């Protein structure tokens, strides 16, 4: 159960409410986010819902029986919007595009990517400075110095940054330089990391775990929300199956299902989803029709020379074309629905 508290609810009112609920054998957890205050009540006891609804300090009450509650569409009708400032907003009905290399490699690459994004009309740049690599001998990223350099160049050009945070200690050092923290597929169930991201006032995009279910992705988002941060995005990036013909099996089904189950924006990552450069545009375009609110894909000035994931990275010509086609398909979708 989610009890939405009034903005000006006083602590004695909240304590009275908690006392009442604990008498009814509910455990309670207070959640304070950037946008509101909630009291989560977990239990199976019986009580008069109207009596709680009329208690002082209560704005609204919602019975949500799923284990993920705050991220559920069952109580919040309006879809969540993520405002990155300077007019960059990720929201339903618009298609957010995020593109850039798998890994940040250096000044020249950052510069070329930024010029490309400006030409393509894309305002959010992706790139990893901390890279989760299967082999410890692969390039593992430029680290915080790379992020600082990238930030300086991006800011000069009005470009927003999304970058992966791999561990708790990186949150603070990255905080000033990212617009969105990305939680990678290998960290979707790093609950300590999720708890800590709940404490920051910055958007977080959580990718689906490598073998994660849709519900597990929603539980992960619930961790961050219940920790106090409701600026959240969900990302489908493919899952591991028995299929070997593609890097992952992109689960197109997840897009409409997540959209129906949650009020959070849903982003598609076709690059990791299929892992084959020439097929990335098809999966990206299909994701738009499936209802995605944004697409994140890998692009590089010379994918063959990319430090990581070159095989699934678009060159700039392919990227320009894709951005154009995505907008066309988005227009089509808006007219169809």
196 binds Mn ion (CB under 5 A): no
DSSP code at position 139? -
Instruction: Kindly tell me which residue out of 272, 274, 275, 292 binds ligand PEP, with binding defined by CB under 6 A.
Output: 272
Check residue 277 for interaction with ligand PEP (CB under 6 A): no
Q: How far apart are CA 274 and CA 286, in angstroms?
A: 12
Residue placing its CB nearer to Mn ion in the complex, 230 or 309: 309
| Residue number, 102 or 314, with CB nearest to Mn ion | 102
* Residue 300, contacted partner among Mn ion, ligand PEP, none, CB below 5-8 A by kind: none
Is residue 9 at the binding interface for ligand PEP, with CB under 6 A as the rule?
no
Residue 207 engages ligand PEP in binding (rule: CB under 6 A) = yes
Closer to Mn ion by Cβ: residue 82 or 102:
102
Cα angle 94, 91, 132 (rounded to 5 degrees) comes to 105
Is 179 one of the binding residues for Mn ion (CB under 5 A)?
Answer: no
Considering only residues 158 through 197, tell me which ones interact with ligand PEP, judged by CB under 6 A: 184-186
Answer yes or no whether residue 124 interacts with ligand PEP by CB under 6 A: no
Rounded to the nearest 10 degrees, the angle between the axes of helix 280-290 and helix 254-261 is 30
For residue 128, give the DSSP letter.
B
Are 181 and 168 in contact, with CB atoms under 8 Å apart?
no
Q: How far is the CB of 207 from ligand PEP (least distance, A)?
A: 5
In Å, how far are 172, 183, 245, 309 from 87, measured between CA atoms? 25, 24, 41, 31
Report the nearest approach of Mn ion to the CB of residue 101 (Å).
Answer: 8
Q: Which of 102, 264, 283, 285 lies at the binding interface for ligand PEP (CB under 6 A)? A: 102
259 contacts ligand PEP (rule: CB under 6 A): no
User: Closest approach of Cβ 43 to Mn ion, in Å?
Assistant: 43
Q: Is residue 93 packed enough to be buried (19+ CB in 10 Å), middle (13-18) or exposed (0-12)?
A: exposed
CB closer to Mn ion out of 222 and 309: 309
Judged by CB under 5 A, the chain residues 286 through 325 that form the site for Mn ion are: 309
E-strand ranges in 113-212 read 124-126, 160-164, 180-183, 204-207
300 in contact with ligand PEP (CB under 6 A) = no
Q: Which single residue brings its beta carbon nearest to ligand PEP?
A: 184
State which residue, 62 or 186, has the beta carbon closest to ligand PEP: 186
What is the three-class DSSP state of 326? helix
185 binds, among ligand PEP, Mn ion, none (CB under 5 to 8 A by kind): ligand PEP
Assess 247 for contact with ligand PEP (CB under 6 A). Answer: no
Q: Which secondary structure element, helix H or strand E, spans residue 153, and what is its range? A: helix 143-156
Which long-range contacts link 106-112 to residues 24+ away (Cβ below 8 Å)?
Answer: 106/142, 106/146, 107/149, 107/153, 109/300, 109/301, 110/149, 110/150, 110/153, 110/154, 111/153, 112/301, 112/316
* Pairing label, strands 37-42, 204-207: unpaired
Query: Taking the mean position of all CA atoms in its chain, how far away is CA 129?
Result: 18
Total of chain residues touching ligand PEP, rule CB under 6 A: 9
61 sits near ligand PEP (criterion: CB under 6 A): no
Which chain residues interact with ligand PEP by CB under 6 A?
102, 128, 132, 184-186, 207, 237, 272
């Amino acid at each position: 159960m989610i009890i939405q508290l009034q903005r000006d609810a006083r602590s004695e009112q909240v304590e009275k409410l908690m006392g009442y609920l604990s008498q009814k054998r509910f455990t309670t957890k207070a959640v304070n986010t950037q946008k509101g205050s909630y009291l989560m009540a977990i239990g199976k006891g019986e009580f008069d819902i109207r009596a709680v609804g009329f208690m002082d300090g209560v704005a609204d009450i919602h019975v949500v029986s799923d284990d993920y509650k705050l991220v559920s569409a069952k109580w919040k009708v309006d879809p969540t919007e993520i405002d990155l400032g300077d007019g960059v907003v990720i929201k339903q009905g618009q298609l957010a595009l995020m593109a850039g290399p798998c890994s940040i490699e250096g000044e020249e690459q950052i510069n070329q990517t930024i010029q490309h994004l400006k030409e393509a009309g894309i305002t959010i740049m992706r790139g990893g400075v901390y890279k989760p690599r299967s082999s410890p001998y692969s390039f593992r990223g430029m680290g915080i110095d790379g992020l600082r350099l990238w930030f300086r160049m991006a800011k000069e050009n009005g470009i927003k940054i999304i970058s992966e945070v791999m561990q708790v200690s990186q949150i603070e050092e990255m905080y000033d330089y990212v617009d969105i923290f990305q939680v990678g597929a290998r960290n979707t169930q790093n609950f300590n990391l999720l708890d800590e991201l709940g404490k920051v006032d910055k958007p977080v995009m959580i990718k689906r775990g490598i073998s994660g279910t849709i519900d597990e992705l929603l539980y992960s988002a619930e961790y961050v929300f219940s920790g106090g941060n409701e600026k959240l995005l969900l990302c489908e990036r493919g899952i591991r199956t028995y299929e070997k013909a593609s890097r992952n099996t992109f689960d197109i089904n997840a897009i409409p299902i997540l959209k129906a189950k949650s009020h959070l924006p849903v982003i598609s990552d076709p690059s990791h989803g299929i892992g084959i450069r020439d097929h990335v545009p098809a999966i990206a375009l299909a994701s738009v029709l499936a209802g995605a609110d944004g697409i994140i894909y890998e692009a590089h000035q010379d994918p063959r020379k990319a430090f990581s994931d070159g095989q699934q990275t678009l060159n700039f010509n392919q990227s320009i074309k894709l951005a154009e086609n995505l907008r066309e398909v988005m227009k089509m979708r808006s007219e169809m629905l």
